[in-house]
Structure 1
Amino acid sequence: MGAFTDKLLSICSDNISPNQPKKYIDSNHGQLLMSELAFVLEKKNGFYGFESALHLFPYESIGTEIGAIDWNKHDLWISEYKDMALGAFFFAEDIFGNQFCIKDDLIQIFDPEIGSFDKLAGNFEEWSKAILDDYSFLTGYSLANQWQNTYGKIPSMHRLIPKIPFVLGGEYTLENLYLSNSIDAMKFRASLALQIRNTPDGESISINTIN
């Protein structure tokens, strides 16, 4: 794959799943990148990195861990976004639940608060280099570290979610974060993303924030 991918894999956790993944993941989201993802999963079938800030899903679900195949099932959380999260294969997430995905033959970041995609890399070697070069920003490592020093280890399949959404001015501080199940977090913010899309500029929206 390349030196940057090998480096990233070497500093992250052991396999989440001890099982050998299938050689290819059937998908229409870009065969070359899906083949690269399959190669990564053959080397390490899911992992956590940067004190759990980076989470790459294993191929299949095991125990409390959801695998990439199940994570990408339409009715798990993707359908909550209506048409906003379609056409992508989601394979990893940062500490806040921002999703890394394969879409339009690129690796992109999906922002769950507004339902938007941003291009990040052309292949997994470029993605690995981007993570290594700016892991604090791209994974949320600093806040993951602060949270765990204060409150203890972040459980599997949980992310740190803002009480006041970042898009609405919420601060990147411990005081504005709470621990949430990953699926619940995506569903909650899907409602926010749809409201933001459907609300004219200058009008207010209604959300239930966490105290």
Structure 2
Amino acid sequence: MSSSFDALLDVAGGALGPGFAGALPDIGGAARTRELEQLLGHRDGFLAFEDALLVFPVDAPTRRLDLVRLNNGDWTAGYWHRCEGLLFFAADALGDLFALQGDKVVRFVSETGVVEPMADDLPGWAARLLADPAGEAGWPFAHAWAAAHGPLEEGSRLTGKRPFVLDGAFDLDNLQQRPLAEILDYRGNLATRLHEAPPGAILHMPTLS
């Protein structure tokens, strides 16, 4: 196993799933999928950086969300074609997703549905998180939330009462904890409306409350 995988698991909590020794679908490309199988084979889902990073267990019925249910969830329909060819496997503190796409690892910005390059392979993704957990995993937000309200609940992430992309503040007054599936349902609608809005349009969205 790569040194960056070892280092990431050293700062992570225990396994969230019952164990994984199978095969994942090659949605994101075979090479990267084999790397993800290796990581999850060593630890079937985990939390790291004070719960800022959530790597999903593969198939864990006793958990609120796992990799199988995430990738087959109804929330993907809200983004239309933007989830095609992506195998989602992790989330940051603010509800953005990490995914495999072809031979790359990408970040799926869930408020906009935009896919951003992240790393050339999964060990590179792990190394990038370890080098900057604040910027890449949203560690300061998870830390501040835990100090004020306690650790994040299982399957939940942080989101803005007013969306960040609509000038919602990145502070505790605007943050709230919600189940990730609920966040993605809301943001899929938001992303579609943003993409369909004509230039200069003022977009009004109900708050997620």
Range of TM-score over shorter length: over 0.9
Is 1:64 aligned to 2:63, yes or no? yes
After superposition, what is the alpha-carbon deviation per residue over 1:59-114, rounded to whole angstroms, capped at 9, x for unaligned?
Answer: 102313322112101x4311121112211000000011100000121000000111
Q: CA deviation at 1:22?
A: 3.3
Q: How many residues align?
A: 209
Distance 1:23 1:122 in 2: 24
SS of equivalent to 2:59: coil
Could you say which residue in structure 2 is the equivalent of 1:2?
A: 2
Q: For residue 58 of structure 2, what is the amino acid of its counterpart?
A: Y
State the TM-score, normalizing by the size of structure 1.
0.95
Aligned with residue 108 of structure 2, among 107, 110, 113: 110
Q: Are 1:23 and 1:39, in contact at CA under 8 Å, matched by a contact in 2?
A: no
Is 1:11 aligned to 2:11, yes or no? yes
SS of equivalent to 1:82: helix
Q: Are 1:113 and 1:190, in contact at CA under 8 Å, matched by a contact in 2?
A: yes
After superposition, what is the alpha-carbon deviation per residue over 1:10-67, rounded to whole angstroms, capped at 9, x for unaligned?
Answer: 11001011x2313321233201110110000110000001111000000102313322
State the TM-score, normalizing by the size of structure 2.
0.96
Q: For residue 57 of structure 1, what is the amino acid of its counterpart?
A: F
Q: Are 2:105 and 2:117, in contact at CA under 8 Å, matched by a contact in 1?
A: yes
Structure 1, 22-31 or 118-127: larger mean CA deviation: 22-31
Could you say which residue in structure 2 is the equivalent of 1:190?
A: 188
Distance 2:15 2:46 in 1: 6
Structure 2 runs not aligned, ≥5 long:
none
Distance 1:123 1:52 in 2: 23
Could you say which residue in structure 2 is the equivalent of 1:169?
A: 167
Could you say which residue in structure 1 is the equivalent of 2:127?
A: 129
Distance 1:59 1:80 in 2: 23
Aligned-CA RMSD value: 1.2
Distance 1:26 1:51 in 2: 30
